[in-house]
Amino acid sequence: MDNSATDEIEHLRRALDEETERCLQVQKQLEQANRGFEEFVSIAAHHLREFLRDVAANSQLMAESYAGRLDSDADRCLSHIRDGVARMQSLLTDMVEYAVTDTGDRPPSRTDMEAVLLLSMGGQLNDGSAVVTHDPLPAVMGDSEILTKVLKHLIRNALEYCGTPHPRVHISSKRGNLEWVFSVQDNGPGIDPAFHDRIFGVFKRLHGKECPGTGLGLAFCKKAIECLGGRIWVESTPGAGSTFYFTLPPADQDFSE
């Protein structure tokens, strides 16, 4: 190899090293900016919650102190105040959850989806009318805390918007070549195909204010699953229920099946 070729290779090597160093610096700056943003969101939400607790406490105190002495309009106003505070508190919780969704310095690890499902079920079947069943679930590469929130949102979404006296939800999974495909199926009213992509957007809702929800639950699920290297989508037709699917890498990394 002549000297000119050697010099050219050395020049390209130095250029590659410089570009790699520049990319690492940019990545470091982005990580710092992200940590700063997450800290700002958490602190702002903390202060807002304090203000909301004051409003909630004082409106409750007023309702108790003046019970029976207020006219119907005043009672209705107090009820609207308490309802508004509850909605704002729920919105703040979901906003913080969405904003800080990231595995951060926690690399994906072996996660038992049976345990994740058990954690996600806490407090969601209080009225006794809903039935949630599941097939045996596998272990995946993921994050237990994040996946617990994902299943909690998907199950809560299915139960709240079911529209029938006896909501039913079934969770199952099947093995693909390079991933596990999970499904959360309900017996609700279904979703028009025109809205299948829209429902995963931030603050996108298909129901009015009379229905619970902040419009961030499914957006969180999409961000969380994609952060873990998976995909999420819905298959549904009006009147036939909905099935939400999401994928995750297998824990064993054995793709011979």
Q: Is residue 153, in this structure, part of any structural domain at all? A: yes
How many separate domains does the chain show? 2
Q: Is residue 1, in this structure, part of any structural domain at all? A: no
Asked if 180 and 237 sit in the same domain, the reply is yes
pLDDT tens readout for residues 153-208: 999 888 887 777 788 999 999 998 889 999 999 998 888 888 888 888 877 666 55
Residue 45 Cα to chain centre, angstroms? 18
More confident residue, 152 or 15: 152
Q: Is residue 81, in this structure, part of any structural domain at all? A: yes
More confident residue, 54 or 37: 54
For residue 117, give the nearest of 98, 83, 89, 140 by alpha carbon. 140
pTM of the model: 0.72
Asked if 61 and 142 sit in the same domain, the reply is no
pLDDT tens readout for residues 83-110: 888 888 888 888 888 877 765 567 889 9
Asked if 146 and 203 sit in the same domain, the reply is yes
Tell me which H or E stretch contains 236.
strand 232-236
Tokens of 246: 């999401």
User: What pLDDT sits at residue 255?
Assistant: 41
Q: Is the pLDDT of residue 143 over 70?
A: yes
Asked if 113 and 214 sit in the same domain, the reply is yes
Asked if 116 and 225 sit in the same domain, the reply is yes
User: What pLDDT sits at residue 104?
Assistant: 58
Q: Which residue has the tokens 């079947």?
A: 125
Decide: 182 and 171 in contact? Cβ < 8 Å.
yes
pLDDT tens readout for residues 55-70: 888 888 888 888 888 8
Asked if 30 and 152 sit in the same domain, the reply is no
> Domain range holding 159?
109-248
Q: Is residue 132, in this structure, part of any structural domain at all? A: yes
Asked if 173 and 144 sit in the same domain, the reply is yes
Asked if 39 and 124 sit in the same domain, the reply is no
Q: Is residue 59, in this structure, part of any structural domain at all? A: yes
**How far is 189 from 159, CA to CA, in rounded Å?**
11
- The CATH number linked to 190 is 3.30.565.10
Q: Is the pLDDT of residue 126 over 60?
A: no
User: What pLDDT sits at residue 213?
Assistant: 65
Q: Is the pLDDT of residue 9 over 60?
A: yes
**How many residues comprise the chain?**
257
Q: State the pairing for strand pair 180-186/131-134.
A: unpaired
User: What pLDDT sits at residue 205?
Assistant: 65
